[in-house]
Structure 1
Amino acid sequence: MKLDGRRDFHEARWDEPILMEMGAPGQRAILTEAIEPQVAQAVGSPTHRLPAGYRRAQAPKLPELGQMQLLRHYLRLSQETIGADINIDIGLGTCTMKYNPKIHETFVRDPRFSELHPYQDASTTQGILKVMYETEQYLKAISGMDRFSLNPAGGSQGIFSNVAVIKAYHDARGEGAQRNEIITTILSHPGNAGTAAALGYKVITLYPDESGIPDLEALKAAVSEHTAALLITNPEDTGIYNEKIRQFVDIVHAAGGLCVYDQANLNGLMGITRARDAGFDLCQFNLHKTFSSPHGSQGPGSGAQGCTAELAKFLPVPTVEFDGEKYYLDYNHPDSIGKLRKFYGVPAVVLRAYAYIRSLGADGLKQVSELSILNNNYLLKKMEAVQGITMPWAPGKRRLEQARLSWEPLTQDTGVTTDDIDRRIVDYGFQSYFASHHPRIIPEPFTPEACETYSKADIDEYTGALKAIAEEAYADPDLVKTAPHAAALATPMVGDRLDNMDTFACTWRAYQKRKS
C-alpha cells in the first residue's frame, strides 16, 4: 500500500452465465427425503387447498445444478462484489454503513431463533417477544417517546405508518378533510413526501436558506388551518444541525398540526438530544442503520415508529405487551390504523438492534455519536486538501455525522463529474457512492459519512483515494471519465438501460422475451 493510503486493486471478473443457463436435467445440489406415508396420508395433496386459478398448468422451469457447480457460481459472483466487510463504505452517506458485529449474526442464525414460526402460540415464543418488548423500552428512553411499534419493515414503511397515524388523529377530531397538507423539506428523507402523497396529502416542500437549514419564514408562510403535520429530518443530509428546530415545532403546533422527527439516521445524536425534548409528537428510527444490522437492496430493515401517549391508540396492531408474567401480542386496539404487513416486523433486525443496545449501554451509545461526529469532521478536514471540492452552505460551521459536498469546481475545470468519480473510486477498491445524495439541488453532490466504525487510517485511505482521483481528473480527465478499469462491471450502465422497459429484464421469463 502506498504512503498516502492508496492500495493496488483489481477485482475478479468472471464471464459467468446466468444461473438459468447452467446445469443439465437431473442434476441436484441436494436430495430431500420423501414424505413419510403417514404424513402424506394425514395432510393430503397441498394443491387442493389452492384455488384453481392459482395452480400452475405445468411445473416451473428451475435451474438444475450439482452442489459443486452451484457453490462455484455464487462464490464467483461474491468475488465480483465489493461488500461492506471487505471495503471502507464511507462513501455511502445517509446509509450509515457501520460494522455489524459478527456475534449478532450467530444470534439470528441460531436455530432457537431462526426456526421460530410466526404462527406459533405466544407461550412458545416468550424469548423473542421479550426482546421486542425490551427493545421498545430502550427506544422510548433514547427518544423520549411513550410508545413504539416495531411493525414497520423499513424506513419508508415507518414514515408511512406515521402519516397514517396523523390521518387517524385528525379524522378522530373531525378535521381530517380540512387538514389535507403536509409540510416537509427537500433534504429530508424522500419517503416523507412520498408517503404523504400516497395517502392523499398535498405536499409542501421547504428549501434551505443561506445557512443550509430549512427556511423558517417559508414555514411560517406555509402553515395554515390545512396543515396536518410537519415531517422533518434534523440534521438533514447536509449534516448541518438545525438549531431552530424547536421554533419549527412550535409554529406547526400553533397551527394545530403534528410534528414528526424522521430520525432514520440517529448516529450523531444518541444520548445528546431526543425527539420528545424538541417537542415532537412522533419519530421514526431505521434500526438497520443506527442500531447496526446489514442492509441494502431494499432490505432487511426495520423502521421503528415512536409516538406520544396521546397518539399511541392509533399505532398499528399488534403491539407487544407484558402483564407481569407473560409477553403477548395484543390486537385489541379499536382505534388502530390496522396492520401494516403480515406478522410482526422483522425480528432478525430487532434482535440485532437489541444486542447492539445491550452491549453498548447508554454511555456506549453516546460514545458512538461522539466518535461519529469526530470521524466526520476529521474526514471533512482531510477533504479540504482535495482540489476541486467545496462544502456549500454555512461555511466554517461544523457538521454532524455526514456532510453534503460538491465537486462542481472540479467539473467546471476538467469536465469530470461526480458520477465519473463514483465509477473511478471502484478501481481503488471502494464501493461506489451512487445515489446517496439525491435530490441534486447541490451541483455535482457527494455525501460521505464516516460514522464510528472507521479508524483514522481508514479515513486517510479513503480520502487519499479521492485526492488521487482529483489529481487524475486534472492531469488526464479521460482516465476518470472512462472508468471503471479494474472492476467486474467494465461497462457502466448509463443512459436509459435501467429504465427502458424495451431492453430491461428483471426476470428470466422477461429476459427470454427480450431475446426473442
Structure 2
Amino acid sequence: MTEAIDLGTANEFIPRHIGPREADTANMLEQLGYDSLDALIASVIPESIKGSSVLELSAGLSEADALAKIKAIAVKNQQFSTHIGQGYYGTHTPSPILRNLLENPAWYTAYTPYQPEISQGRLEALLNFQTLISDLSGLPITNASLLDEATAAAEAMTFCKRLSKNKASNAFFASQHCHPQTLDVLRTRAEPLGIEVVIGDEREITDASAYFGALLQYPASNGDIFDYRELVERFHAAKALVAVAADLLALTLLTPPGEFGADVALGSAQRFGVPLGFGGPHAAYFATRDAFKRDMPGRLVGVSVDRFGKPALRLAMQTREQHIRREKATSNICTAQVLLANIASMYAVYHGPQGLTRIAKRVHQLTAILAQGLAKLGLVVEQQSFFDTLSLATGSKTAALHAKARTLGINLREIDGERLGLSLDETTNQAAVERLWQVFAEPGQSPDFAELAATVASQLPQALLRQSAILTHPVFNRYHSETELMRYLRKLADKDLALDRSMIPLGSCTMKLNAASEMIPVTWAEFGNLHPFAPAEQSQGYTQLTTELEAMLCAATGYDGMSLQPNAGSQGEYAGLLAIRAYHRSRGDDQRDICLIPQSAHGTNPATASMAGMRVVVTACDARGNVDIDDLRAKAEEHKERLAALMITYPSTHGVFEEGIREICQIVHDNGGQVYIDGANMNAMVGLCAPGQFGGDVSHLNLHKTFCIPHGGGGPGVGPIGVKAHLIPFLPGHEKMARKEGAVSAAPFGSASILPITWMYITMMGGQGLKRASQLAILNANYIARRLEEHYPVLYTGSNSLVAHECILDLRPLKETSGISVDDVAKRLIDFGFHAPTMSFPVAGTLMIEPTESESKEELDRFCDAMIAIRAEIHAVERGELDPEDNPLKHAPHTAAELVGEWTHGYSREQAVYPVASLIEAKYWPPVGRVDNVFGDRNLVCACPSIEAYQEA
C-alpha cells in the first residue's frame, strides 16, 4: 500500500526559529517539575492577566511562501528616477560591502560594543566613521552616529541650549533653508521644553542676541550655497552657538563648517552607500568642538590600552549615558545606527579621498551641465552657486511639469505651487540629465550635452572651496581593490563575537535569531530604492506592508492603533509620552505633568519623561523587586491633580511577572493618569498576555528585540508605539501624512526598509508560532535559572519561584568571599567563547541573563557549564588554591599572543584558554586583553590616530 503523503507546503520555519527540540523541551520541563509547557506557563503568568492575549493571526507560512507573498507586495512599489533630494539621494552600495557587511550575520547580529574585548572589529569600523566625519566636518570630536538628520538637529538644539552662554534667550533660530522635515522635528522636540523655534531667512537677522543658538543648512535645502562666516561671527559675538546641517559629499569640495566657526556639524551619511529605503535606517552624524565633548549626545568610540599596554578601542565616557543619569540625562538616545555607520565608513574606506572627491566633482559637473541646459530652455534657475540641487521658478506650469515628469518615470521635488526642485546624485549619468531636459523641452529642442559639457564651469563659490586635505589616514588609502576590502572586512569580523558564533545571553536585550529569510527582502531594490517623499501612488507596496504590519502588531499587543515612525526604542518612548501629553491637553488638563516611574525602570524612562516636559516622581520597589503598590498608590493620590502617566516595564526589569499589574494600572487610571507600559520585555508576552488588554494605554515595542530586526552592532532599531483608541489622534504625524503635527523622525515611517524583517517573522510564525516562541523563551530562562541556582543565587523570582524570560544572578556575595567581581566573571566568559550577560543592571554586582527561544538546549547547557566551571574557579580562590590576584578570572580574557609569550601566572596555559575540552575544536581568540576604561576616559582619542601620535599622547 502506498504511503499517504501530505501534498501541502510544510511550514518548517517555526522549529527552525525555536531552538529546543521536542525531546529537549520535555527534558527541561521534567527538571523544572512540570509535565507540560502549558502547566509551566500557567505557573508563571499571574491569574489577573491570564486570557488577556488577543493574538488572532492566521497560521504561519513557509519561508518560500512568505518570500513569494512579500515579493508580490514589493513589486507594487514603482521605481522612478528620483531627483527629489531633500536630504535623501540615490547611491551605489559597493557590492563587496553589500555582501560582506550588510548581508553578513557576523556584522548584523552583533550587539552594542559594551564589551570591548570582543568588539574590536566593529569598534574599528566606527572609529573609521568618526574619523571620516571629523575630517569632512572640520571638527575634532564626533560620535558613532545618531538616528537621522532631523533628530540629530533636535539634539543639536538642546545641546546649544545647555552650552550657550546667552542664558537670557529661550529662542532658537532655524533657517528656512533647512530641510522641511528637520524643521518639523525641531518643533516637536522644542514644544515640551518650552523652547521657541524661530524660522526665518538668516540673511535678514538683525539681532543675533535674540537667540541662544542657530541651525543653518549647507548647502541649503533648495540648493544655494551661502557664505556663513560673517553670520557665525555675529552669533558668537552674541554668545550664541551655531549648528550647521551639512551634506557630507559636498564637504569633500567645500570649506567645512568647523573651519568657518560652526560649533556643531550634523547631517546624514545616507549617500555614502546606504540605500534610500523609503527613509531609513540611515546613520546621522554629529560633530563638535573638543571643549563640548562631555555634553555630546550618543556614543563615542575612543582609544585606550589593554592590560599589556597595547592600543585597544572602547566606547568612551559611558557614564554620560542616560541609563546612569536617568532624569538628569541630556538625551534619551541609547543607541546608534551602527550597521549603517559601518556601511558609510567602509564606503569611504573603499573609495578613498580621491574616489569621494571624484564622485562629488562628477555630481556637481552634471548639475552644472543640467543648469546650463535649463537656462537655454528658458527656465529660471534660482541658484547663483550650487552643488547638486537646483530650484526652478516654473509658475503656473509647475503641476503640468510634475505630471509630464511622471509620465517619463521621473520624480521632481514639490517645493510649492510655483517652484520645483531637482537634485542629482552618484547614480545620475548623461542619459538622466537628458531625460530631465525632456521634461522641460519641446520635442527636438533638448540641448546638446557634449557641447555644454565642453564649456561648463564650476558653480561652486570660489571663496568657499575646500583647502584642507581629507582622509589622510592610511585606512582610507589602502583598501581600494575588492580583494583588499574583502579581507579587511573579514579581519574585522574575525575580531568580534556575534550571534553567528555563540549565544549572546543579554538580559533586557533579546538577542534572538535574525533568520535569513527575514533579512533577504531588505536588500531588494523594490524596498531599497524608494524615496520617502515619493508620490503615494508609487509606494503602494510599502502602504500594504505597513498597514498589514500595524495590524499584526496590534493583534500581538491588544492595542487599537500603531505608529511605525519612531526609529528606535528611545524614540518610541518619547512618542508615547507625547501622545499622553497631547491627550491631556486636548481635555484641558494642561497641568498634568507628573510621571511616576518605579526605581527598577529602564534608565531611558526618566530621561524620556524629562524630554517630554514631565517631572519624574520615583516610586519604591519591595524586597522582591516588585513595584511597592502602597507607595505607588500614595504618590498617585498625592499628585492626583497633576498626574500624567506611569511608566512601567512589564514583565519587570527584574525579570518577573508582577502579580499586581492590573491593580497598578487601575490606581493610575483612578487618579487621572495614563499607563505607559515599556515593551522592552514583550518577548515574554506575545500570545500569552497583551498590555493593551490588561491596563496599558500605550506601549513602545522594540522590533530589534522581540520582532527579530537584528541589533547590527548597536543599531538599527525600530520602536513603534501601540495605543488604545483614545490616543490614536495623537500618534506621530508628518507632512506626508494625514496628521501633520508631531513628527518624531525625519521620514513618515522611520526606518521603513527594515520593516520587512518583522513582517516576515510574524507571517512565518503565525499566531501559534509566536505563542510558542514566548513559551520557550520562558522555559529556557527558567531552565538556566534552575541549573545555576545552586551555584549563584537567583535574585528575583515570581510567586512560584519562577522567572519570566530572564533571570538575575547575584554575584555580590562572591566579591565578599573571593574578591572576584562581576566584571571578572564577564571577562572570563570570553575565554569560554561567550558574550557576557547584562552586567550590573538593574542591580549593581549582578548578571542578567536572557537566553531567548532561539537557543538550543545544547547551547544553554554549554553556557551553564561555563558558568559552573567559573564558579569552581571562584571556589578555588576562596579555598586558597588560586591566588586572589593571579588567577584566570582576574587576568581574563587571555589572548593568543599572551599564550606564546613568557608565562608568569600560577595557573596553566591550558586552564587559561581551554577551561573546557569543547573549546579545543572551536576557540574564539580575543584580539586584545582586558581594556583599561579609566585610561580611555582620561586620554580620549576619538579619531584614527597614527601609532606615532598615539604613543606621544
Which of 835, 838, 841 aligns to 1:438? It is 841
User: Following superposition of structure 1 onto structure 2, how do residues 66-465 of structure 1 map, counting pairs within 5 Å?
Assistant: 66-67=480-481, 68-90=483-505, 92-176=506-590, 178-223=591-636, 224=639, 225-318=641-734, 331-333=737-739, 336-386=741-791, 388-392=792-796, 397-435=801-839, 437-440=840-843, 443-465=844-866
TM-score norm. by structure 1 comes to 0.85
Task: For residue 509 of structure 1, report the CA deviation from its aligned partner.
Answer: 8.1
CA distance in 1, matches of 2:119, 2:570: 35
Once residues 729 and 753 of structure 2 are traced to their aligned partners in structure 1, the CA distance between those partners, rounded to angstroms, is: 26
Q: What SS does the aligned partner of 1:303 have?
A: coil
SS across alignment from 1:127: helix
* Change beyond 3 A, Cα 1:130–1:48: closer
State the match for 2:942 in structure 1.
506
Aligned amino acid, residue 728 of structure 2: A
Q: In 2 relative to 1, CA 70–254 (structure 1 residues): closer, same or farther, beyond 3 Å?
A: same
Q: Which amino acid aligns with 2:816?
A: Q
In structure 2, C-alpha distance between the alignment counterparts of 1:261 and 1:216, rounded to whole Å: 16
- Displacement of 1:48 in angstroms is 7.2
Please state how far the C-alpha of 1:39 moved relative to its aligned partner: 6.6
In 2, the alpha carbon distance for the partners of 1:241 and 1:47 equals 57
- Please give the per-residue CA displacement for 1:338-361, whole angstroms capped at 9, x wherever unaligned: 343334211233110010000011
Partner-residue secondary structure (3-state), 2:807: coil
Q: Which amino acid aligns with 1:450?
A: P
Aligned match of 2:303:
none
Kept in 2, the 8 Å contact 1:267–1:372? The answer is yes
SS in structure 2 of the partner of residue 260 of structure 1: strand
Change in CA separation of 1:130 and 1:57 when aligned onto 2, cut-off 3 Å: farther
Residue 11 of structure 1 deviates from its aligned partner by: 8.7
How far is the alpha carbon of 1:42 from its aligned partner? 1.0
Letter in 1 for 2:630: E
Post-superposition offset of 1:510: 12
State the 1:215 CA deviation.
Answer: 0.4
Q: Is this contact kept in 2: 1:237–1:403, CA < 8 A?
A: no
1:260-288 superposed Cα distances (whole Å, 9 cap, x missing partner):
11112211111111112112111111111
Instruction: Say whether residues 1:47 and 2:387 are aligned partners.
Output: yes
User: What is the TM-score with the length of structure 2 in the denominator?
Assistant: 0.48
Unmatched 5+ residue regions in structure 1?
1-9, 319-328
Say which is worse superposed, 33-42 or 100-109, in terms of deviation: 33-42
TM-fit CA distance, 1:179: 1.5
Measure, in 2, the Cα distance between the counterparts of 1:83 and 1:23: 24
Count of residue pairs brought into register by the alignment: 487
State the AA in 1 paired with 2:597.
T
Taking structure 1 as reference, are residues 119 and 330 closer, same or farther at Cα in structure 2, changes over 3 Å only? closer
Structure 2, gaps ≥5 residues long: 1-116, 133-348, 373-384, 391-459, 877-881, 896-924
Contact 1:166 1:229 (8 Å CA) reproduced: yes
Asked if residue 483 in structure 1 is aligned to residue 881 in structure 2, the reply is no
One-letter code of the match for 2:782? Answer: N
Residue in 2 aligned with 1:6?
none
Change beyond 3 A, Cα 1:11–1:127:
closer
Residue deviations 1:303-356, cap 9 Å, x none? 0101112111111114xxxxxxxxxx952326x433433342112331100100
Residues 107, 13 of structure 1: alpha-carbon distance in 2 compared, 3 angstrom cutoff: closer
Q: Deviation at 1:185?
A: 1.5
Superposition deviation, residue 471 in structure 1: 1.1
CA-to-aligned-CA distance 1:189-219 (integer Å, 9 cap, x gap): 2211110012232211223213321100110
Relative to structure 1, the CA distance from residue 173 to residue 458 in structure 2 (aligned partners, 3 Å threshold; closer, same or farther) is same
Structure 2 contact 583–730 (Cα < 8 Å) conserved:
yes
CA contact (8 A) 1:28 1:64 kept: no
Letter in 1 for 2:749: Y
Q: Residues 101 and 24 (structure 1 numbering): CA distance in 2 closer, same or farther, change over 3 Å? A: closer
Percent of aligned pairs sharing the same letter: 29
Instruction: Assess if the C-alpha contact under 8 Å between 1:410 and 1:470 holds in 2.
Output: no
Once the two structures are superposed, residues 418-457 of structure 1 have per-residue CA deviations (whole angstroms, 9 ceiling, x without a partner) of 111111101111123354x4243xx411111111101111
Distance 2:610 2:949 in 1: 35
Partner of 1:474: 875
**Contact 1:317 1:338 (8 Å CA) reproduced:** yes
Q: Specify the SS of the correspondent of 1:479.
A: coil
Structure 1 residues 12-51: aligned runs within 5 Å: 41-42=369-370, 46-47=386-387
Q: Which amino acid aligns with 1:88?
A: M
Per-residue deviation, 1:489: 4.4
**How large is the RMSD of aligned CA atoms in angstroms?**
3.4
Look up the match of 2:51. Answer: none
Q: Are positions 1:496 and 2:900 aligned together?
A: no
Question: Contact 1:286–1:302 (CA<8 Å) still a contact in 2?
Answer: yes
Q: Secondary structure at the match of 1:404?
A: strand
CA distance in 1, matches of 2:120, 2:721: 42
State the match for 1:322 in structure 2.
Answer: none
Against the structure 1 CA distance between its residues 284 and 54, is the aligned structure 2 distance closer, same or farther, given a 3 Å change threshold? farther
Deviations 1:142-186 (A, max 9, x none): 11111100000111110011111122122222222x222101122
Deviations 1:450-469 (A, max 9, x none): 11101111100001011111
Whichever structure has more helix as a proportion of its residues is 2
Give the conservation status (yes or no) of the 8 Å contact 1:29–1:70: no
**Letter paired with 2:625:** G
Report if aligned partners of 1:389, 1:410 keep a CA contact under 8 Å in 2.
no
> 2:683 aligns to what SS in structure 1?
coil
Residue 257 of structure 1 deviates from its aligned partner by 0.6
State the SS of the aligned residue for 1:238.
coil
Secondary structure of the residue aligned to 1:267 is helix
C-alpha deviation, 1:37, in angstroms:
7.9
